Amino acid sequence: MSNSMPHSMQPHIKAWLARLGSEKRLSSLTLNAYERDVRQFLNFLALHFEDTVTLELFRSIIPADIRAFMAMRRKTGIESRSLMRGIAGIKSFFRYLEREGLGEASVISAIKSPRIGRSLPKPVAMAAAKSIADADTRAGEPREQWVLARDAAVLSLLYGAGLRISEALSLKRCEAPVNGVDVITVTGKGNKMRSLPILPQISLSLQEYLRLVPHHLSPQGPLFVGVRGGVLSPRIIQYAVEAMRGFLGLPPSATPHALRHSFATHLLSRGGDLRTIQELLGHASLSTTQIYTKVESTELMAAFRAAHPRAR
């Protein structure tokens, strides 16, 4: 941790970070980021008030002082997302002081978080998405056949059923949609359960993996396992897609999660109902799903501009 903070606040900072580490179990990277954000705020206050920042001075802060800090950070070119994270750390420090009877959090609670422009999902083109979920695409790799089949089965669930990678990897062996089973039930965000239809191609991909996997899979154990038979890490699937991006000529936005975006976008482009897609994706709000309509209209306009004679 940095020692450049005003000395009178240092004990409170250390106690706050220690509590975050023990109670919230935040990583050292997050704690370092929080410490840096609060240090920047304290250094600003020292210049703003032209005085050493004591606990008494800290208690005298008003919302206008915090807005002045945010304006200063804006002038340095900081993005809204980074500024929002910084304000979150400062809010956490205020709340800690309030719990300890050393201050009030109402002054920071009055500050609205910076608005973040919502970026559009970046789906993978239909042909590329099919290639990513096909084991034959990686046939030349020096990997065991069952590993290639496993990765293809996971990716086929992401593209063919719109699963999140965490949902696919949390499936148990007894839940595998094979041998005539064409529906699976998954538990998504907020412990919300949803049932999803499974296409025959996905079942075939899973059957091939189960035929080749060399490890015993207990019914209540994980469906997808690593090379030693343990829990499969999402990072392994991410590595697999990264490897395929190179020889498929895909951008960095082509990730496992992009296959879920592709599932929604391609369904919509084929006439899928927005409410149905919402249910399949497990979105709590229809407005979350509606962003895919913007993706489709953007792609349509791009295709129009590329093809129409008057657009050139």
Catalytic residue among 73, 138, 260, 261: 260
* Residue 7 annotated to the active site: no
* Residue 260 annotated to the active site: yes
* Residue 228 annotated to the active site: no
Catalytic residue among 24, 189, 211, 275: 189
- Which amino acid would we find at residue 189? K
Catalytic residue among 34, 96, 159, 292: 292
Catalytic residue among 164, 209, 261, 266: 164
Catalytic residue among 12, 39, 138, 283: 283
Q: CB of 164 within 8 A of CB of 188? A: yes
* Residue 257 annotated to the active site: yes
Six-digit token pair at 285?
């709000």
User: Would you name the residues annotated as active-site residues?
Assistant: 164, 189, 257, 260, 283, 292
